[in-house]
Amino acid sequence: MVLPSMLLCDFGNLEREVQALEAAGARALHLDVMDGVFVPNLTYGMPIVEAVRRTTDLPLDVHLMIARPGEYIEQFIEAGASSLTIHVEAVDDPRPVLERIRQHDAVACLALNPPTPLEAIARYLPYCDMVLCMSVMPGFGSQPFEPVALEKLRTLRAQHSDLILEIDGGVNEKTIADCTRAGAQMLVAGSAIFHSNVSYKQSLAELTGLSSSAIGRAP
């Protein structure tokens, strides 16, 4: 599944953007929440998640790139999040936060940055529904892809077949097939959709086609 990252959308026409993505065939939307503390950028919070939820019934994959994410779990779920991602680097103990996400019937996801080894999340995997392997350092879009994420995906796919695997950062027409072959099932794309020279429908179709064609091929 290719998830458009709303970070690069036209927020002055948010409703129109959401409707255009839905009409283009998007099956879920990815929302990046940044606080200027955990990452060196500031984006948006609950009001934008609420606004998107009012506009669509699509699943909202909310990525919390914030310090102290445990203080905001209920608020983001009430705002309309279908899944919530927290970073292992942002909390001392992800387990209670992940458990609270699950208690609210939302998908619990744990993310790790490119320099963070898989060993840092190993003990928390039983409390995850999904793992997000960042292929760029979080904070800004349009960064180059870091292949270390592919190694992590391959290891997770081989050892934890029950987990949903997601990748975010630098996913485009050149990298998406490798991401899929490595095991990613949820592929977050920003510039490849919003900065493309073609329509949302065409860019989504091209990315989905490249991903689908890679399924079943050896990494």
Percent of the chain with pLDDT over 70: 97
Which pLDDT score, from 0 to 100, does residue 114 have?
A: 97
Query: Tell me: the pLDDT tens digits for 132-160?
Result: 999 999 986 667 899 999 999 999 999 99
Q: Copy the structure tokens of residue 5.
A: 């990252």
pTM of this structure:
0.95
Burial of 134 (0-12, 13-18, 19+ CB in 10 A): buried
pLDDT at 218: 47
Query: Can you give the pLDDT at residue 195?
Result: 93
Give the pLDDT confidence of 97-120 residue by residue, as tens digits. Answer: 999 999 999 999 999 999 999 999
Which residues in the chain belong to E strands, given as ranges? 2-4, 29-34, 60-65, 83-87, 107-112, 130-134, 164-168, 186-189
Range with lowest mean pLDDT among 136-140, 160-164, 201-205: 136-140
Catalytic annotation present for 105: no
93 part of the active site: no
User: What is the homologous superfamily of the domain 2-214 according to CATH?
Assistant: Aldolase class I (3.20.20.70)
Task: Place 219 in a pLDDT band, splitting at 50, 70 and 90.
Answer: very low
34 and 139 in contact (C-beta within 8 Å)? yes
State phi, psi for 81 to the nearest 5 degrees.
-65, 135
The mean pLDDT value of the chain amounts to: 95
Query: Residue 76 pLDDT more than 90?
Result: yes
8-state DSSP, 11: G
pLDDT tens track for 8-66: 999 999 999 999 999 999 999 999 999 999 999 999 999 999 999 999 999 999 999 99
- Active-site residue, from 35, 61, 168, 178: 168
Q: What is the rounded distance in angstroms from the CA atom of residue 27 to the CA atom of residue 60? A: 10
Active-site option among 32, 35, 61, 178 = 32
Q: Cα dihedral sign for 97, 68, 168, 23?
A: positive
Residue 83, pLDDT above cutoff 90 = yes
CA–CA–CA angle 4, 148, 85 (5° rounding): 45
**Does residue 85 have a pLDDT over 90?**
yes
Distance in angstroms (rounded) separating the CA atoms of residues 138 and 87: 10
Output b/e per residue, 60-92; b: 16+ Cβ within 10 A.
bbbbbbbeebbebbeebbebbbbbbbbbbbbbe
